[in-house]
Structure 1
Amino acid sequence: MLKLQRILRLVVCAGLVGASFGCASSRTHESTGEYVDNTVITTKVKAAIFNEASLKTFQISVKTYKDEVQLSGFVDSAQSVAKAGEVARSVPGVGSVKNDLLVK
């Protein structure tokens, strides 16, 4: 019985250690907390762009990974590209902006 308890404890400990590594961040994978934070940043950037009168009519896609915001889509002028980048950078929590917007 004592040996069975030791084996069971070892298995449980190994499982907990393995699960904690599964939630950890790496260069190519974000942790659960980072994912939630980046989702909040994405939502705030989308809202800020929508609230900007000169940008609200454009289809601008926003994605965030490890605090880097990526903007993509089409706008009507270089000024709109620059304005979207400025708006995204002004949102708290944004580390950097990759502006892939194209003028059509």
Structure 2
Amino acid sequence: MKKTKRLLHATFLALATLGSLAGCAVTSGQSSVGDYIDDKTISARVKTRFAQDETVSAMRIQVETLNGVVQLSGFARSEAERTRAGELARSVSGVRSVRNDIIVRPPTQ
């Protein structure tokens, strides 16, 4: 009896979670919950690559993904950092293209 109750509870929670994703998942230009989740995964992977790289600041550069197209924005301290951020984004699986809108702003002294 306890197992059945736990199974029903787990099933209810899973269905409620899926239902909440379906309600907020599709944004302009996206066709499904899966597309939304894929785009969020791509963005997270790009940010992870930034965090692992010594050249790129994951804190100053924002990443947005829509249908596999990654848009980078924010500020880089050098053209090398801007270029490297684009390279890292392109290297992530699932990325169709990259819009590199990062502005180079050298640090003030």
TM-score (norm 2): 0.67
The secondary structure found in structure 2 opposite 1:39 is helix
Equivalent runs, 1:78-97 vs 2, <5 Å: 78-97=79-98
Q: How does 1:22-33 map to 2 (within 5 A)?
A: 28-33=29-34
Q: How far apart are 1:57 and its partner, in Å? A: 6.2
Corresponding residue for 2:76? 75
Q: Which residue of 2 aligns with 1:4?
A: none
Q: For residue 60 of structure 2, what is the amino acid of its counterpart?
A: Q
1:29–1:78 distance in 2 versus 1, CA, 3 Å: same
* Separation in 1, partners of 2:33, 2:63: 19
Give the aligned partner of residue 47 of structure 2.
46
The aligned amino acid for 1:82 is: T
Report the CA distance between 1:30 and its aligned residue: 3.2
Aligned-partner SS, 1:54: coil
Gaps of 5+ in 1: 1-21
Kept in 2, the 8 Å contact 1:58–1:75? The answer is: no
| Aligned positions, number | 81
1:27-80 residue CA offsets vs partner (Å, 9 max, x unmatched): 833311100000110100000011111113651100000000000000111111
Computing the radius of gyration from Cα coordinates, the structure with the larger value is 1
- Superposition CA RMSD, Å: 2.2
User: Runs of at least 4 residues of structure 1 off by over 6 A?
Assistant: none
The aligned residue for residue 61 of structure 1 is 62
% identical aligned pairs:
40
